[in-house]
Chains A and B, each alone.
Chain A
Amino acid sequence: MMERTDDLIAVAMSGGLDSSVTAWLLAREGRPVVGLSMLLWDQSGVEANGRCCGALDLGDAKRVAQQAGIPHYTLRLDREFREKVVDPFVSDYLAGRTPSPCVRCNTWIKFDLLLERARELGAGRVATGHYARILDGPDGPELHTAADADKDQSYYLFELTQEQLAASLFPLGAMSKPEVRELARRAGLVVAEKGESMEVCFVAGGVREFVEAQVAEFPDRYAERFSDQTLSQPSRLVDAAGADLGAGQPYYRYTVGQRKGLGLAAKSPLFVLAIEPEENRVVVGPVEDLLAPGLRGERLHWIGADPIEADPIEADAIEATVRIRSRHPGVRARIRPLGDGAVEIDFAEPQRGITPGQAAVFYQGTRVLGGCWIQGRL
């Protein structure tokens, strides 16, 4: 009989390769482990990518748990997932933003709700298969990038708190993906040859089709955004000066920085510069107009203590490397908090593709200081 202690670790098991190896590694070390899977998106019959959210994968998680010799339970969190992740995802598109649902899922589901449920089940800590590291710092736990820079997922974790980090384990943070796969193969895990889940896990086909299907299915949820226009109304394409260039697709089908699919003839290639839902307009222009000297952000979050308050010399800004999307290499920048979560960021070099709805995440070396949500360009 396993004696329940505060050392009990709950591993969040999606049925994918990374979380499976995480569970297996901890079990192999002889630590008391339970596997927890979250039923997040129950579209009975609809297989969401056949991956992270699909019922099939929960079956894989159960198989792996047996291989690792640990008990496994599935928690139904689909109501919370819809409220905290799916609804905001759809609303973001309707507001002309390009959302980052994985950050929200980490912030609201995996390290909030799941941690809470794990504690209810007697587990004090949650382990996940994220590629990121938690290191002890002078002021408590710090979030750092993964040893494998190609796989680094620290960007998606910027909204965590030190308290959450203290209760979290990322056993894969010091490993490379090939090493993880090799471990799975040697252990004979049933998921050893499984592919990557790169897409948004709850969207089976195209994102635009998903958004339209959701609005059609739940018109009341998004009524605010659609009080005075219909879902498929064409937008107006305009240039930066406001000149009309013709009719376009419904505005939420565009993403800032997008080049393809505009259907406009021009001397030089045109890009989406901004989306203006209130005006039902999409502003397009040449590539140089995509460049911005900085960005405006909201909901500023510091993982540890506010570094600006902590710094007695320079009281109003902090220097850091900022990544403005998950695959962005990062740019040197000055972060100027304005109060109430508002923030302005000045880049050392102008950047393209400041996309409202994405996260801007702040780094010093490998350490993640925090981040904010992008509202627009400066």
Chain B
Amino acid sequence: MAFVYLDHNATTPLHPAARAAMLPWLGEQHGNPSSIHRFGQQARNAVEEAREKVAALLGARPPEVVFTASGTEANNAVVLDAARHAGRKGHLVISAIEHPSVREAAARLEKELGFEVTRVSPAEDGVVPAAAVLAALRPETRLVCLMLANNELGTLQPVAEVAAACRERGIAVHCDAVQAVGKIPVDVRELGVDSLTVGAHKFHGPLGAAALWVRQGAQISSFLLGGSQERRRRASTENVPALAGFGAAAAAALAELPERQAHLAALRDSFEAELLKRVPGSILHCTASPRLPNTSHIALSGIEGESLLIRLDIAGFAVSTGSACSSGTVEPSKTLLAIGMSQEEALSSLRVSFGMTNRPEEVEAFLSVLEREVAELRRLSPLVPGKTAGKTAGKTVGKTS
């Protein structure tokens, strides 16, 4: 068996349709979409075709889609823009489990412009209660940021409920939907938000292509200044090959969505059922919460997640210990601490995120290796303080009412 990739929340392999759409723009075709000549016209056509496909995937109108180079860029743009509309000071409400591109942008407004930021914690089930978000609103609240699916836990957040209540009060809601799009149906009108971020590479599109959807009529200032691209909201010559791939990936996601959900959920469910049977001391998180079909968040008591990840990689299986942005350092993930995990448990956790190219045999092989490596690690360091050798059967936590 070749190397097995089980880290699709970090990034995904390119869909063949996306690759096919990109290849002409990496070869015989080229052009600047702003040029008047036929080279430019063809490039413009490719970009606009992509825009239509991305809009279709989101239930949006094409002019509402602003292409960006990354989800981070889109999230930064919305949060930092709150400062322009709010005058000198204002109030933001974000969930405590937002992606760093939201958290850090909010922290900058707080630090540099005197904004107040309320960070709403999730409950133990990995879901931020809508009531808690709404309770944090104030008359001067400018923006609420609530992600649709958490990157680490896979839990879905009550975005529609929050957006409906905010709409009544005239407060803008931004939704980072990067982890959700392509895995579950996402419709901007149903969500009722004002802006939403989507990234191509999380659903088999290329790296370097993302979009900020902005509701028609909603305000957003130019976040890159220069040419008139993207209706002046984001100047820059368009990344035509990446956008062509983004469009094709969006079309494929729309067409394959039911099949994807079924495939991913089947892999994940069999993995989780077997894990509890076969790996002592394994704990599944947030299984009773609404969640993405592809993400398992597990803790292995007495195990250092970092060591396990490396052993698994040496054995040929790629997983993650948290979000890719915070790995490289052994700091427990803020998200995991926010749902009430102890530092020790957070450091013993592993994220397994399945993708469309995974097959049941790979899940079976992964389970065997996981069993072996966990046993080996426990054998090597059975008496480290705080490490309890897991003799008990697995369990699930985070069940919601």
Binding site for B on A (CB under 8 A): 1-4, 8, 34, 39, 71, 73-76, 117, 119-122
Contact = CB atoms under 8 A, between A and B. Distances in A.
B330 A120 contact: no
B392 interface: no
Given A1-B2, A1-B3, A76-B329, A120 B377 contact: yes
Contacts of B1: 1
Interface string B347-387: 00000000000000000000000000000110011000000
Contacts of B2: 1
Contact of A71 (B307, B314, B380, B381): B314
Given A1-B2, A34-B310, A75-B306, 10 more contacts: A1-B1, A1-B3, A71-B314, A73-B310, A73-B313, A76-B329, A120-B304, A121-B310, A122-B314, A122-B376
25 contacts: A1-B2, A1-B3, A1-B315, A2-B315, A2-B316, A3-B315, A4-B311, A4-B315, A8-B314, A34-B314, A71-B314, A73-B310, A73-B313, A74-B328, A75-B306, A76-B329, A120-B304, A120-B377, A120-B380, A121-B307, A121-B310, A121-B311, A121-B314, A122-B311, A122-B314
Interface string B1-33: 111000000000000000000000000000000
Contacts of A120: 304, 307, 377, 380-381
Interface of B: 1-3, 304, 306-307, 310-311, 313-316, 328-330, 376-377, 380-381
A75 B306 CA distance: 9
Contacts of A121: 307, 310-311, 314
B311 A76 contact: no
Contacts of B316: 1-2
A76 B307 contact: no
Contacts of B376: 122
A1 B313 CA distance: 9
Contacts of A4: 311, 314-315
B213 to A, nearest CB: 35
Contacts of A119: 380
A185 to B, nearest CB: 30
> Top 4 nearest A-B pairs by Cβ distance?
A1-B316, A76-B330, A120-B307, A121-B310
Nearest to A77: B330
A76 B316 CA distance: 23
A121 B315 CA distance: 11
B313 A71 contact: yes
Contacts of B307: 117, 120-121
A315 to B, nearest CB: 40
Nearest to A58: B328
- Give the residue among B1, B313, B314, B330 with the most A Cβ atoms within 10 A: B314
Given A74-B328, A76-B329, A76-B330, A2 B377 contact: no
A69 to B, nearest CB: 13
A74 B381 CA distance: 20
Contacts of A76: 329-330
B363 to A, nearest CB: 15
A73 B328 CA distance: 9
A2 B329 CA distance: 25
Contacts of B306: 75
B304 to A, nearest CB: 8
Nearest to B1: A1
Nearest to B307: A120
Nearest to A1: B316
Nearest to B377: A120
Contacts of A8: 314
B365 to A, nearest CB: 9
Contacts of A75: 306
Nearest to B328: A74
A53 B124 CA distance: 39
B118 to A, nearest CB: 28
Contacts of B313: 71, 73
A13 B310 CA distance: 16
A81 to B, nearest CB: 14
Nearest to B329: A76
A121 B312 CA distance: 9
Nearest to B316: A1
A115 to B, nearest CB: 12
- Give the residue among B2, B330, B377 with the most A Cβ atoms within 10 A: B330
Contacts of A117: 307
A175 B51 CA distance: 60
Contacts of B311: 4, 121-122
Nearest to B2: A1
Nearest to B330: A76
Contacts of B314: 2, 4, 8, 34, 71, 121-122
Contacts of B377: 120
A71 B318 CA distance: 12
A3 B328 CA distance: 24
Contacts of B381: 120
- Give the residue among A4, A8, A39, A117 with the most B Cβ atoms within 10 A: A4
Contacts of A122: 311, 314, 376
- Give the residue among B306, B310, B328, B380 with the most A Cβ atoms within 10 A: B310
A213 to B, nearest CB: 23
B399 to A, nearest CB: 33
Nearest to B309: A73
Contacts of B329: 39, 76
A103 B377 CA distance: 30
A345 to B, nearest CB: 40
A120 B315 CA distance: 14
Nearest to A76: B330
Contacts of B315: 1-4
